[in-house]
């Protein structure tokens, strides 16, 4: 019995030695600049995987949309052009409303609430992604979204006709409902868009305004705290199925660390970057009571519209989230 076991062990060792794992390089496209905290988190995740797998899988990140632009990253992963990548979750709201659970105005407006919403939405989202040949690895929220303008705005009437940079369906809809003119522009290109007058406003985090130095063109940031949209990291499911269990474990471990570190960075970065906007010369203020009330009403309209589009799955997410409050 003893001898047989030893033979098996030797055979197993020989088999491993005879077929060493092929080292693979995974290119990982990112839409945002290298200086952005999501990109810094992804770079560390990449290093963690490279080290943890002993170089079996080495991940190289490509920030600023240099390999694929934000809008093309998910498709590139689905079709196997790249094995892994990061994208703004709500960027796919036009495919399936579920992707927009994080951009429902005023549903979850703090990090704690965004975390609760994430926990209840995650299983549904994982299923939607799995049907698209994608496996979810981790997700990190952006800081709360506020409104940027070139000129002072105290009510929705002041927004009429303003050119507005949007980044997903919800932001385009917000522009429509406030009488603004939406134009979709990737974060990597907004400094240029504001400098040349292609857009004069946007809804985004202090982090993105800071990264893109928007004080060079814009003058006002209103802390509306409309929602906290998320980025997520996905891997092609065929590539995932072909990955050894040992390497999968390493990747899952690195993903958990990255999610934790990314959340922490996002929180820390909120105050730091909003201060950075002030230092850059911008007026940072809460919205006027009028604007606040008008935005709440628009938010209610958008919530109804999202629930209509997201059907039973969307309603279940919102109900489960409200039950946690």
Residues that bind ligand PCA (CB under 6 A): 88, 142, 167, 187, 204-205, 207-208, 229
Closer to ligand PCA at the Cβ: 46 or 146?
A: 146
Q: How many CB atoms within 10 Å of residue 16?
A: 10
CB of 192 to ligand PCA, least distance (A): 14
Closer to ligand PCA at the Cβ: 229 or 314?
A: 229
Which residues, including other chains, have CB under 8 Å from residue 92's CB and lie 6 or more apart? 74, 99
CB of 279 to ligand PCA, least distance (A): 19
Burial class, 240, CB count within 10 angstroms (exposed 0-12 / middle 13-18 / buried 19+): middle
CB of 91 to ligand PCA, least distance (A): 9
Closer to ligand PCA at the Cβ: 56 or 86?
A: 86
What is the C-alpha separation between 103 and 121, in angstroms, rounded?
13
Closer to ligand PCA at the Cβ: 99 or 142?
A: 142
Question: Dihedral of CA 80/253/99/28: which sign?
Answer: negative
CB of 65 to ligand PCA, least distance (A): 11
Map tokens 């995932």 to a residue.
240
Closer to ligand PCA at the Cβ: 169 or 204?
A: 204
- The residue at minimum Cβ distance from ligand PCA is 205
Strand 230-236 to 181-184 pairing: unpaired
What is the C-alpha separation between 256 and 24, in angstroms, rounded?
22
Closer to ligand PCA at the Cβ: 142 or 222?
A: 142
CB of 77 to ligand PCA, least distance (A): 19
Half-sphere exposure of 324 (CA within 13 A, CB side): 18
CB of 59 to ligand PCA, least distance (A): 22
CB of 231 to ligand PCA, least distance (A): 8
Dig out the tokens for 317 from the structure: 């997410």
Closer to ligand PCA at the Cβ: 240 or 264?
A: 264
Dig out the tokens for 73 from the structure: 């990253």
Strand 84-88 to 220-222 pairing: unpaired
Dig out the tokens for 161 from the structure: 């006709």
């Amino acid at each position: 019995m003893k001898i047989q076991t030893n033979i098996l062990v030797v055979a197993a060792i020989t088999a491993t030695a005879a077929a060493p794992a092929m080292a693979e390089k995974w290119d990982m496209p990112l839409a945002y600049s290298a200086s952005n905290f999501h990109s810094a988190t992804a770079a560390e995740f990449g290093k963690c995987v490279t080290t943890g797998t002993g170089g079996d899988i080495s991940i190289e990140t490509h920030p600023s949309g240099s390999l694929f632009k934000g809008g093309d990253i998910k498709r590139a992963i689905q079709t196997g052009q790249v094995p892994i990548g990061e994208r703004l979750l709500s960027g796919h709201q036009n495919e399936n409303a579920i992707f927009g659970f994080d951009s429902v105005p005023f549903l979850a407006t703090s990090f704690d609430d965004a975390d609760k919403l994430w926990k209840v939405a995650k299983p549904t989202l994982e299923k939607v992604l799995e049907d698209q040949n994608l496996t979810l690895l981790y997700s990190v929220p952006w800081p709360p979204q506020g409104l940027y303008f070139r000129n002072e705005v105290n009510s929705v009437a002041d927004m009429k006709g303003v050119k507005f940079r949007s980044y997903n369906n919800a932001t385009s809809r917000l522009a429509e409902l406030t009488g603004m003119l939406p134009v979709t522009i990737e974060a990597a290109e907004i400094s240029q868009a504001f400098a040349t007058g292609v857009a004069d406003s946007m809804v985004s985090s202090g982090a993105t305004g800071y990264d893109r130095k928007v004080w060079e063109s814009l003058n006002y940031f209103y802390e509306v705290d409309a929602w906290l949209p998320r980025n997520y990291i996905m891997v092609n499911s065929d590539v995932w199925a072909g990955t050894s269990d040992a390497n999968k474990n390493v990747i899952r471990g690195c993903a958990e660390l990255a999610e934790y570190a990314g959340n922490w960075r996002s929180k820390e970065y909120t105050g730091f970057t909003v201060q950075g906007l002030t230092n850059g010369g911008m007026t940072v203020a809460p919205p006027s009571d009028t604007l606040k009330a008008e935005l709440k009403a628009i938010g209610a309209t958008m919530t109804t519209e999202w629930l209509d589009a997201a059907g039973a799955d969307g309603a279940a997410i919102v109900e489960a989230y409200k039950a946690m409050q």
